[in-house]
Amino acid sequence: MSEIRHLPQAPTRTQVLQPLADISAHRHDDHQIVYARAGVVAVMTDAGTWFAPATQAIWIPSGTVHAHRAHGRVDLHLVGLPVRTNPLKLREPTVLAVSPLLRELIVAYTREPVEDSPGRRRLRAVLLDELRASPQRAVHLPTPRDPRLVELCSALHADPADPRTLAELGTAVGMGERTASRLFSTDLKMTFPQWRTQLRLYHALRMLADDMPVTSVAHRCGWSSTSAFIDVFHRTFGHTPGALYRRARP
CA distances for 144 relative to 93, 134, 160, angstroms: 17, 29, 16
The partner residues of 3 in beta bridges, in order of sequence, read none
Task: For 46-114, list the strands marked E by DSSP.
Answer: 48-52, 56-60, 66-81, 94-97
- What CA–CA distance (Å, rounded) separates 75 from 15? 6
Determine the pLDDT at residue 248.
43
What φ, ψ does residue 43 adopt, rounded to 5°? -115, 125
Determine the pLDDT at residue 177.
96
Q: Is 182 left (phi over 0), alpha (psi -120 to 50) or beta?
A: alpha
Instruction: Name the architecture of domain 145-248.
Output: Orthogonal Bundle (1.10)
Candidates 202, 204, 181; CA nearest to 191 is 181
Determine the pLDDT at residue 250.
46
The partner residues of 59 in beta bridges, in order of sequence, read 33, 94
CB contact at 8 A, 14 and 75: yes
Determine the pLDDT at residue 245.
53
- Consecutive 10-residue averages of pLDDT for the chain (250 residues): 72 87 91 93 94 92 94 92 90 94 94 81 93 91 95 96 96 95 95 97 93 94 96 89 59
Q: Which residues contact 31 (CB under 8 A, 6 or more apart)?
A: 10, 59, 60, 61, 62, 80, 81, 82, 83, 85, 86
- What CA–CA distance (Å, rounded) separates 207 from 212? 6
Determine the pLDDT at residue 26.
93
Report the CATH fold assignment for 5-140: Jelly Rolls (2.60.120)
Determine the pLDDT at residue 246.
56
Determine the pLDDT at residue 59.
96
Helix runs in 159-191, H state only: 166-172, 177-187
CATH 2.60.120.810 in the chain, residue ranges: 5-140
Length of the chain: 250
CATH 1.10.10.60 in the chain, residue ranges: 145-248
